[in-house]
Amino acid sequence: MANVKKVLETEVNGLKVNLFEYDIESEESISQIKEYLINKVKISKVHNTAEYDLTYYGTQNLDPEFVARFNEQVARINIPKKSSIPQFDVRRERVTEWIAQYLLEQEYGCKFYDEADKRINLKAVEIDKHTDGIDVPGIWIDNDRIRFVVCEVKASEATKIPCDSVQSLQEDIQKAIDNADNRVSREILEYMHGIRNVKIQDELLDKIVGFLVHLIAGEKKDLAENIMFFPFLLRNNEKIVSDMNIDDYKNFSLQRVKRENVENIILAFEKRFTDFSTEVYEEAIGE
């Protein structure tokens, strides 16, 4: 993929680490990722006024001006709050997680169904809340082998390497590996519930459903061996690529997981995340 380049592939502490760089200098490249992100925002149920179609309630022959005013109010009500603390900004969270999903789609061929995307399917009362559970769940099919994707995402602009976000990233991934409090099992159930709404049924989807059912009903070892864990760091720090510095992962270690089931990722994306996320939302919904 022209706009994302893998600049380093190595191992740290026995775990694979891939360093990618996003081309922010190319207008075409920025337009491509923005188009992807803007579409995700626009198709989100809370921002799609078609989800509030008044004719659903049997209301016929409404004054077009009234309908337009109603839709304007729906859009206004569903504008997420901005936060002065970047890590608490839900726009920043959603955009950075979609960026991670974009890379996993393009570079790894992972499959994500919008019908199972928690950010896209938010309710109006959840618009200002951070999404619960695994950040980016999905499906990875590699050489006909299906695995459930567990991707936890942290975005950092810290000059320090390793950044402070690494510790919480490690903790989140370890909780998923251990399936603490049924963290992953519940995520799989949620994903199964989401893909029930996929309109196009095909052989691949049937295989995916069968695979997920087996994960829930099978042995504990089946769960651990059929998940691909992607710890994902989105970094705005120019030294990472210029120095080929992957020290964010130098103290990163995981227990009770096979090395082939983990792939650490750093994506160098040299834009201020909060500003970029605000731009995406402004272009998508005008606010």
Which pLDDT does position 63 carry in this prediction?
86
Beta-carbon neighbour count of residue 181 at 10 Å?
9
Which pLDDT does position 194 carry in this prediction?
94
Which pLDDT does position 259 carry in this prediction?
95
Which pLDDT does position 85 carry in this prediction?
87
- The reported pTM is 0.94
Residues of the chain with pLDDT under 70: 1-2, 58-60, 287
What residues have CB less than 8 Å from 136, skipping those under 6 apart? 97, 100, 101, 104, 112, 149, 151, 152, 153, 230, 232
Which pLDDT does position 60 carry in this prediction?
67
The residue type at 276: F
Beta-carbon neighbour count of residue 163 at 10 Å?
19
User: What would the pLDDT profile of 220-270 be if each residue is shown by its tens digit?
Assistant: 888 889 999 999 999 999 999 999 999 999 999 999 999 999 999 999 999
Domain borders along the chain are: 4-31+86-273
